[in-house]
Amino acid sequence: MIEAMLEFRAKVCLIYQKFQFALNLIFKFAVSFLVITTLNTEIGYDPRFAAPGVVMMMSIICAFTPGGVLALMCLVLTVIHVYSVNVALAVFVGLIMIILYAFFLRFTPRYAYIMIAIPVLGVFNIPYTVPLLAGLTTSPATIFPMCCGIFFRYLIAVIRNCVGIKVDLTKLNTDNLLELVNAIVDNLLKSKEMLYFMGVFAMVELVAFLIRKLKFSFSFEISVVIGTAACILGHVFIDGRYPLNGGIGKMLMFSLISGGLVMIVYAFLRILDYTAVENVQFEDDDYYYYVRAVPKIKSGLKKLNIRKMDAPTYFESSMESEAFEDDPFTDPRTGEVLEPEKFRENRQKRKPKEAKKAASGEEKKNRAESGEEKKRPAFLNLKKDKKPEQKPESKVVIEEPDEEHAMERVPGEKLDKDDKNDKDKKDDKDKKDKKETKVKKDIKDK
């Protein structure tokens, strides 16, 4: 099942690499459309900016621009909608935005979209994904935009309540305006629930960040689980003081859904990160280069090359002695009864290259020249009646390949070099030698 998931992930990665530009545009357009539509639903007082055509145009602009432009556009849209209610109120909301930027948002301008994500995902009851994802992927500095997002959500809710209920828009004057502003500020200052939520979200992000930084296996997965648990516990604590909308059951369900979503998103983030195709240009003295760098897919599974090193068995080692020359033997691997000569031939074929070389004339000549006598190991002098020694344990060597070359493959592609026969290995070696000489020649020619 895991292999199927990894293959699916690799296929998604391949498709993303092929159509990266178009997919990015489509995704950004879809997200921008969703965010702007949600904002218009919450605080869309100006019908001109809530029209589908304008929303489409703004979404197209956000699709072609960086992520920060969407956040800025949402803030400006909020001020524009409030401007349609009253100019002074719009100035008031604008000043609040500037204060938020001056105190908090200027530290992490690249993560300003987190501020917009909280109210948008809050509409779908899954704002808990934001602190979990932020803890897994960013630094604790993103607590600032997250808290600003919670404040922004409450600001929109308070403006909606106050403008809708407390003040008649057709009879808005200076006195009413002051009353409206005071009502908004009162609601915000007295909203301790907002402070509790800020505290819980900050705690969840910190917990997720600290656990994923620890160096043990499955730290990311465990951080998601513990972060979700912390989120549930925090909300249960809040529910004791300020009853939650929909009760604890709803909060529990959506917390678990958020945790699951974060797991799925992170599983893809781990491979989509750095897998985007890079188009770069640079020049040197001779050429101007247009380079398209396509990163390789790494499925994450390490391929282990297992090489067993068995000590010779009693029967194999006993073939060295002359006492058993005439006796037939059973091949322990196949169960076939073989003559001694054929048994020796088969054993020679299975031997590694070094042993073959040793068996060749060169080693024998060297030994003859040096005058070394071949010493027979003691275990070869066993008599026929004695019981065989216990089979020594085979030594298993697991060779882990370098990380550079770990699973750099497309699914279905063979990589096992041991599968090649001698002829292919020789061809590979010849090709390698030719390549080396060619490189040296090229450098010299240049």
Partner 1 sequence: MLDEKKVRIMTKLSIYEKTTGRYDIKLAKFYRSDYVHYQVLRTLIAVTLGYVLLLLLAAVYKSDYLIAEAVTLDYASIGKAILRYYLMILAVFAVISLFGYLIHYNVSRKHLSDYYNLLKKLKKYYVLKEEAEAEGIADTAGQAAAADTGTEGGRNL
CB nearer partner 1, residue 159 or residue 251: 159
In 319-402, which ranges are continuous DSSP H helix?
340-350, 353-359, 361-370
- Let me know: does 197 contact 149? Beta carbons within 8 Å: no
Least CB distance to partner 1 at residue 303 (A):
25
Q: CB of residue 180 vs partner 1: minimum separation in angstroms?
A: 12
CB of 106 to partner 1, least distance (A): 6
| Rounded-to-integer distance, Cα 150 and Cα 195, Å | 9
Q: Are 9 and 271 in contact (CB under 8 A)?
A: yes
- Which contiguous run of DSSP H or E holds residue 425? helix 422-445
Least distance between partner 1 and beta carbon 418 (Å): 29
Q: Which residue's entry shows tokens 């000569």?
A: 341
* Nearer CB in complex with partner 1: 71/93: 93
**Per rule CB under 8 A, is residue 291 in the interface with partner 1?**
yes
Determine if 397 is a binding residue for partner 1 (CB under 8 A): no
Largest CA distance in the chain: 120
Please tell me the distance from the alpha carbon of residue 121 to that of residue 129, in angstroms, as a whole number: 8
Outline where DSSP puts E strands in 164-300: 278-283, 288-293
> Is 446 a residue that touches partner 1 (CB under 8 A)?
yes
Out of 19, 27, 64, 107, the residue judged to bind partner 1 by CB under 8 A: 107
Cβ partners under 8 Å of residue 205, min gap 6: 131, 132, 134, 135, 140, 142, 143, 146, 227
Which residues inside 405-434 make contact with partner 1, applying CB under 8 A? none
The secondary structure of residue 202, as a DSSP letter, is: H
Q: Which is nearer to partner 1, 1 or 293 (CB)?
A: 293
Q: 129-137 vs 247-272: helix axis angle to the nearest 10?
A: 30
Inter-residue contact 385 to 297 (CB < 8 Å): no
The interface with partner 1 within residues 329-358 (CB under 8 A) comprises: none
Q: Which amino acid is at 299?
A: S
Choose, by CB under 8 A, the member of 170, 217, 281, 381 that binds partner 1: 281
404 contacts partner 1 (rule: CB under 8 A) = no
CA distance 352 to 312: 13
- CB-nearer residue toward partner 1: 182 or 366: 182
| The only residue of 2, 4, 280, 397 in contact with partner 1, by rule CB under 8 A | 280
Of the residues 33, 45, 49, 92, which one makes contact with partner 1 according to CB under 8 A = 92
| Least Å from the CB of residue 442 to partner 1 | 6
Task: Examine residue 182 and tell whether it contacts partner 1 (CB under 8 A).
Answer: yes
The gap between the terminal CA atoms of the chain, to the nearest Å, is 53
Of 255, 243, 233, nearest to 128 (Cα)? 255
272, 9 Cβ separation under 8 angstroms: no
Least distance from partner 1 to the Cβ atom of residue 162, Å: 14
Angstrom distance (rounded) from CA 424 to CA 414 = 14
CB 115 within 8 Å of CB 148: yes
Draw the binding track, 229-268, toward partner 1 (x: CB under 8 A; -: no contact).
----------------------------------------
Q: Considering the rule CB under 8 A, would residue 95 count as an interface residue with partner 1?
A: yes
Q: How many residues at the interface with partner 1, by CB under 8 A?
A: 28
Chosen residue from 106, 160, 213, 429 binding partner 1 by CB under 8 A:
106
Q: Which listed range, 6-14, 42-50, 275-283, 429-437, lies at the site for partner 1 (CB under 8 A)? A: 275-283
Binding to partner 1 by residue 290, rule CB under 8 A? Answer: no
By the rule CB under 8 A, 442 interacts with partner 1: yes
If phi > 0 it is left, if psi is from -120 to 50 it is alpha, else beta; for residue 125 that is left
Query: In the stretch 192-211, what mask flags binding to partner 1 with x, by CB under 8 A?
Result: --------------------
DSSP three-state, residue 411 = coil
SS3 351: coil
130-159 residues in contact with partner 1 (CB under 8 A) are 141
Least spacing, CB of residue 24 vs partner 1, in Å:
15
Residue 178 engages partner 1 in binding (rule: CB under 8 A): yes
Verify binding: residue 21, partner 1, rule CB under 8 A: no
Determine the Cα angle at 370 with ends 369 and 375, to 5°.
Answer: 115
Q: Per CB under 8 A, which region of 176-184, 210-218, 350-358, 361-369 contacts partner 1?
A: 176-184
Helices (H), 162-217: 174-190, 192-213
Nearer to partner 1, 23 or 439 (CB): 439
Task: Report if residue 288 touches partner 1, rule: CB under 8 A.
Answer: no
Query: Which stretches of the chain bind partner 1, using CB under 8 A?
Result: 92, 95-96, 98-99, 102-103, 106-107, 141, 178, 181-182, 185, 278, 280-282, 284, 287, 289, 291, 293, 442-446
